[in-house]
A and B are shown apart, each in its own frame.
Chain A
């Protein structure tokens, strides 16, 4: 195994994960995420992208394998310390924009800052700035249910970006959107991350999305693969040759 370079902010070594019901999740994944890069984790549905992101962000406890963040071990931390790390350093974007329905848009975006103990005025200014940047600034006083889906997703992105996290985990942030909205959301996300030096780990199964990333890590069945030859035409001959089953 190669020694991790110095500018890796997050890396994983031979990460194994089995779900509680015994179904396999990850089978020995090693990867490094460099400072300030946008890393796409691609792969078809069920290939372990979400599980990998959850393990890396400390949502799931890692039992076998190692995860290091800024040269400190994450796999040995308890749930409380992982939660603090998630609150202070990480940000997370769900596939569905899960906003708190009773707070209005800017309060939703300011909530992580308030959870970190920032003052209300500072949190509001910061949240409004990010909402403006993501083109939902004029909706700042609406409730989330008055917004369309793409706008809600942009609010979720603003909520993730507002506290200035070191690493942003985005789990298929554009999956339920139409093509135009998808491009808009992705462009704003990547531009904001690049201009503010935020490292992004982006799970996606869309080849157009991976084109926006600096690097792509392809997963298949919980393993990291370098070349994916999936038979896209129902061609009986040659299927055995291309088969990836091991």
Chain B
């Protein structure tokens, strides 16, 4: 009930995202049911039906990915002080979010069933003069358990994925340094190495600053040092001064870029190898596609990070600095859906190039599948952008309090949005051309 209540009270943008999930789920359900129809119409060609069913994995994966992104963005299922005050913590909110996802996916599946039955003519005569009759096995009775199984695949998968992704986790514990023992096994080591006779050397036992008995953390020690400076004017012993920490500008750069590049090249090589023999081995081509797509997905965060780095290179002003660093910080969040979009787009480009023209050979079902995959991945990318924006709302408000112009912030966002296609567009076209090249010869 609570899930329904929270679902109903959401804002229109959130409802629109859930409707997108429902639409994608309807498309996927329709594809699954049409493969069932094909199997009913041609009971002798079992392998062709299995192939059709296997092709449905792509829209299924895209839809589950979209549902996951939408659930992560959902403001209604985020830990909220108002709900945690009544004992509704992250675990229950995960359940609520999974339930919401199940709801929208089931809605889509129900819609798919209705459309399927309508197209088969089970509800009201055959529409479109029976154009879809051969495709969907109009005359034959529909096996209800098979249809129900196919239709529950998507909601169950999406709900499980959401539940796993949003399961409550404690923040990762800090890296424990192995315990070091001081002299004679005493607990805790001294800050610097204490050589023999250092204890009694002149100047090491100067009176400490008041109220500073425990000087464990380096920051504490520095505060004590400066307090000593202020109160007494004595220079501190040089071994007491903490080392300046190393700058960690590269700490958060994603590590997947080399692996991604390697996988993309391996995939392209596999396709080139497959294109050498006269009857093209389908399995090798598929493996090549899979490797290329995985490589693009892996390389996405790294490439986004690279984009941000290039954007803030040189001597950046406030605009380029905010845009570039924002992109670098959001590389993991934005880059992965962007890599998926790139993989889908390059596959689409290559298929269009291979079929020779603006896709005349695609049937209605292939078009629907392409639409579902492309739309779902694009919607996932936009949802990830919304998630990044929600995450940065606090910092944006702080910048506005500083007096930053809203036009400046909007300009930074526009710059970010403009520089990504500038890098990824040529990349997609190049990969599509390279993968289509050996097969088109």
Contacts and interface: CB of A to CB of B under 8 A. Distances in A.
A103 interface: yes
25 contacts: A83-B405, A86-B401, A87-B402, A88-B403, A94-B401, A101-B395, A102-B325, A103-B321, A107-B321, A107-B325, A111-B321, A114-B317, A114-B321, A115-B405, A115-B408, A135-B222, A135-B226, A138-B244, A139-B245, A143-B251, A150-B219, A151-B219, A180-B212, A181-B223, A184-B227
Contacts of A100: 322, 325, 395, 398-399
Nearest to A165: B403
Given A104-B247, A141-B249, 14 more contacts: A83-B405, A86-B401, A98-B397, A102-B325, A112-B403, A115-B405, A121-B315, A135-B222, A135-B223, A138-B245, A148-B217, A150-B223, A159-B402, A180-B211
A84 interface: yes
A121 B251 CA distance: 25
Interface of A: 59, 83-84, 86-88, 90, 92, 94, 98-104, 107, 111-112, 114-115, 120-121, 135, 138-139, 141-143, 146, 148, 150-151, 159, 179-181, 184
A84 B403 contact: yes
A87 B315 CA distance: 22
A53 B36 CA distance: 67
A184 B231 CA distance: 13
Contacts of A88: 403
B153 to A, nearest CB: 40
B326 interface: yes
B254 to A, nearest CB: 14
Interface in B318-340: 318, 321-322, 325-326, 328-329
B403 A90 contact: yes
Given A94-B398, A100-B398, A111-B318, A87 B325 contact: no
Contacts, number: 90
A187 to B, nearest CB: 9
A53 B403 CA distance: 15
Interface string B375-407: 000000000000000000011011111111100
Interface string B193-237: 000000000000000000110000101001100110000000000
Contact of B245 (A115, A142, A150, A159): A142
In terms of DSSP, what is the predominant structure of the interface of chain A? helix
Contacts of A59: 401
A102 B398 contact: no
A8 B279 CA distance: 90
Q: List 6 tightest A-B contacts by C-beta distance, closest first.
A: A87-B403, A141-B247, A102-B329, A98-B398, A114-B318, A102-B325
B244 A103 contact: no
Contact of B404 (A103, A115, A121): A115
Contacts of A159: 402
A101 B405 contact: no
Contacts of B47: none
B316 interface: yes
B64 to A, nearest CB: 30
B170 interface: no
Contacts of B329: 101-102
A120 B314 CA distance: 11
A222 B269 CA distance: 73
A150 B402 CA distance: 20
A85 to B, nearest CB: 8
A179 B321 CA distance: 36
A102 B328 contact: yes
Contacts of B399: 100, 111
Contact of B403 (A86, A142, A150, A151): A86
Contact of B402 (A101, A115, A146, A184): A115
Nearest to B241: A138
B44 interface: no
Nearest to A116: B403
A142 B247 contact: yes
Contacts of B405: 83, 87, 115
B326 A102 contact: yes
A98 B394 contact: yes
A111 B402 contact: yes
Contacts of B325: 100, 102-103, 107
Nearest to A139: B245
B248 interface: yes
A87 B404 contact: yes
B395 A115 contact: no
Given A92-B402, A94-B401, A103-B325, A120 B317 contact: yes
A104 B247 CA distance: 9
A173 B10 CA distance: 36
